[in-house]
Amino acid sequence: MVLRCFGDIEPRPNVEGRVKLTEEQREQEKANFPCANFTKTTQAIKKITFSFLLDSMNFDYDYLSLDVIQTLINEKGLGSLARKLKEEGLIIQMNANENSCDGQETDLFCIPWIGIKLTDEGFKKVPRVIELVGEYLNMMQDKEIPDDFYEDYLKIEELTFQYADQSDEEYLTQSITQNMDYVEPENLVKKVAHRVPTKKDAKHLKEVLKPYVLSKCRIDIQGQEMPEYIKEHKIDKSKDYETVIPYFETQSTRLDLKSFIGEQTHQKVLSGYYGSYFHYPSKNEFMPDHVTVEELDGDKYTIPVNLSESEDDVIQAYYSQDLVYRIPKACLVANMLFSAKHDPMNRIYFDILQNYLHDEYQAGPGYQAYKASFQSYVDRNDHVGIEFFISGFSSKSCLLYRRALEFIFDCFINPKESTFKRARESRIRNCIKYMNNSDVYMEVAVVGVLYTFTCPVETRKKLLEQQATFEGFK
């Protein structure tokens, strides 16, 4: 039996067997920070990565702090970096994570990073992306993390462990043994190798956060061809690329960051400036406020029962109880039925709608629900129209359902052209990927209430590029 404690756990000092690296090896890696590079790749990617160097890692507390920092950078709601970048149509997606050099077996350091996939527009405006990332990092340096964040973090960790979904023995064993290097063996039984950040960790977290500034990071821009506006800011203009890596067939060159993003912008970001559009998330309304297991109502709901007054009602609701796995959670699936002409153009618009809803839902209630341990999504359903799914703690399931309905209706009433363009661009990229990787057209044959037709991928690409308009989408 494994127990989990959410109090203090001291790190295990001087773990034996960790590889000791020489000062020369350390200095070689440190020489890559800070800098800005453009790398020409063989793949059709448009990406920018911000890397940060954390030396002499304390493998318990520092990784705990990194988890907090990455959670805050990965925010998708109001005030977040991802939301601002997407509002300006600059990015497809963004993710913050870390790589420890040579895994967990060295005493070197950790290299956390922020990876951003750019839109076509974003690839033309890389300096603006760098500026906004720099501003958000300045906000994190300046503002204190709200107390609500620590309270919610602790609450959801306790509840998700206490009322965990079923998992197999292999996963449970692996999750425990991964921490054996960092915690004394007796703590694996007494407390378990897991500690949740609290308010008293704020001071140490600020120390770990110090390298997260534009002046100390490494910036890597990747693309198949270097745009002309980037070539103007190369440090060495005597050759196209200074570094060639034959195995990966990539070439790279150093950039003058100050001139690239503009001297005035560079100075502004380095001075600590950030716009009022950046702030930490407000309190999460989907955090459960109580965990009560509802009493079974006899045999009445052992199978799904239609709760609607009539089978002719516009809304049909079915309910059943779980008689075996008794935990304070609920699962809800809602389907919205549409009627539409059976033609390829409607298929194209529903393809775009799928990406549109996913993008907007994550920027709205979806990410907050995820942090409250909900599994939820809003998606297109080929047979019924739109499907909404939630699974999580019962006390806030109805609230999330209401918020999701409000979100869906708002998307229909007030669609955003910028989100539409991103969704259409994503669908075009998918078509190009299929066309480049296969000589056989991918055919889509759907039989349902929406449409029945077959559409080759090349035709879909042309429809997306030439006929799919925002007015038609609305």
Q: What one-character-per-residue DSSP string does 133-171 give? A: HHHHHHHHHHSPPPHHHHHHHHHHHHHHHHTPPP--HHH
Of residues 3 and 124, more confidence is placed in 124
pLDDT of 275 reads: 92
Mean pLDDT throughout 348-358?
82
**CB 65 within 8 Å of CB 203:** no
Report whether pLDDT(439) > 50. no
pLDDT of 420 reads: 85
**CB 253 within 8 Å of CB 232:** no
pLDDT of 277 reads: 93
pLDDT exceeding 70 applies to what percent of the chain?
Answer: 75
- β 35-40/218-223 pair status: parallel
**CB 82 within 8 Å of CB 136:** no
Q: Assign residue 244 a region (left: φ > 0; alpha: ψ between -120 and 50; beta: otherwise).
A: beta
Of residues 104 and 352, more confidence is placed in 352
Tell me 394's DSSP state. Answer: G
Distances (CA, A) of 435 to 378, 387, 431: 28, 29, 6
pLDDT of 197 reads: 77
Highest mean pLDDT, choosing among 141-155, 177-191, 451-465: 141-155
Tell me 441's DSSP state. Answer: P
Mean pLDDT throughout 203-208?
84
Tell me 439's DSSP state. Answer: S
Q: Which two tokens stand for residue 140?
A: 């994190």
- β 243-245/91-100 pair status: unpaired
Match 């198949």 to its residue by tokens.
224
Highest mean pLDDT, choosing among 228-237, 296-305, 415-424: 228-237
Report whether pLDDT(18) > 50. no
* Cα 329 to the center of its chain, rounded Å: 24
pLDDT digits (tens, 9 = 90+) for 49-105: 999 887 655 544 566 788 888 889 999 888 999 999 988 989 988 998 876 544 344
d(CA 435, CA 462): 12
pLDDT digits (tens, 9 = 90+) for 126-163: 999 999 999 999 999 999 998 888 888 888 877 777 77
pLDDT of 138 reads: 96
State whether the Cα torsion 167-170-176-178 is positive or negative.
negative
User: Which spans in 290-343 are helix H?
Assistant: none
- The average confidence (pLDDT) of the chain is 77
d(CA 388, CA 377): 6
pLDDT of 106 reads: 44
**CB 50 within 8 Å of CB 218:** yes
**Cα-flanking dihedrals φ and ψ of residue 107, to 5°?**
-105, 20
d(CA 157, CA 155): 6
pLDDT digits (tens, 9 = 90+) for 37-53: 999 988 888 999 999 88
Whether residue 288 is preceded by a cis peptide bond, meaning omega within 30 degrees of 0, is: no
Q: How many helices (H) and strands (E) does the chain have?
A: 18, 15
Report whether pLDDT(269) > 80. yes
| Residue (of 467, 422, 427) closest to 121 by Cα position | 422
pLDDT of 440 reads: 40
Mean pLDDT throughout 443-461?
48
Q: Assign residue 262 a region (left: φ > 0; alpha: ψ between -120 and 50; beta: otherwise).
A: left
Burial letters 241-254, b for 16+ CB under 10 A, else e: beeeeeeeebbbbb
pLDDT digits (tens, 9 = 90+) for 370-390: 888 888 888 777 665 778 888
Report whether pLDDT(314) > 80. no
* Cα 363 to the center of its chain, rounded Å: 10
H or E, element range at 110: strand 109-118
Report whether pLDDT(33) > 80. yes
Residue 418 contacts by C-beta under 8 Å, 6 or more apart in sequence? 86, 87, 88, 89
